[in-house]
Amino acid sequence: MDASGPWSAERIRAHLEETVVPLRLAVLSASGHPRVVSLWYLLDEGALWCATAGTSRVARWLEREPRCGFEVARDEPPYRGVRGAGMARLGKARGEEILCRLLDRYLGSRETPLARWLLSRASQEVAIRIEPERLTSWDFSRRMRNERAALRRGSGGSNESPPPRPGRPRGGG
């Protein structure tokens, strides 16, 4: 697997193991248009695992075209994460097992109303195994440091206009 960016392979693995947010999965729809879907994931055996209903659109799209892209990153500062590309394989045999592991990871219980509903349909689940072929880490923590401080002070951060650059007129001209 090819990895690039500011993080080591160990740091990339740690991010994927520790970050509990949905993975954004980019696939090609039947019409050939790109689609992005958010799925719970876990890292195991060097692969990213998700679960979905076997009849879902994303399952059909991946059966037709297994090449995919993905990203695991939080939506709030500091902006950093891992994105990549790989091949997805669907399998019925581990669908229920992966679903249960995802429930434990994301909900911490199999007894919540959502968990019980998902488990009631577990026999329909398929596991999605994404084998990363390329990984890229990115980390904007340093450049966001001042923004985070401004947001904590309530000054609006990046919503404010930056000061003019020396030698450049400001405005329409």
What is the pLDDT, as a whole number, of residue 140? 87
What is the pLDDT, as a whole number, of residue 147? 67
For residue 19, give the nearest of 137, 125, 124, 129 by alpha carbon: 137
> What are the tens digits of pLDDT across the range 5-26?
999 999 999 999 999 999 999 9
What is the pLDDT, as a whole number, of residue 150? 66
Q: How confident is the model at residue 125 (pLDDT cuts 50, 70, 90)?
A: very high
CATH class entry, domain 2-154: mainly beta
pTM: 0.81
Strand pairing category for 34-39 and 47-53: unpaired
> What are the tens digits of pLDDT across the range 63-117?
999 999 999 999 888 889 999 999 999 999 999 999 999 999 999 999 999 999 9
Is the pLDDT reported for residue 152 higher than 90? no
**Whole-angstrom distance, CA of residue 133 vs CA of residue 130:** 9
3-state SS assignment for residue 128: strand
User: Between 151 and 78, where is the model more confident?
Assistant: 78
DSSP 104: H
3-state SS assignment for residue 49: strand
**Whole-angstrom distance, CA of residue 88 vs CA of residue 27:** 10
3-state SS assignment for residue 28: strand
How large is the average pLDDT for residues 51-71? 98
Other CB atoms closer than 10 Å to residue 169's CB: what's the count?
Answer: 8
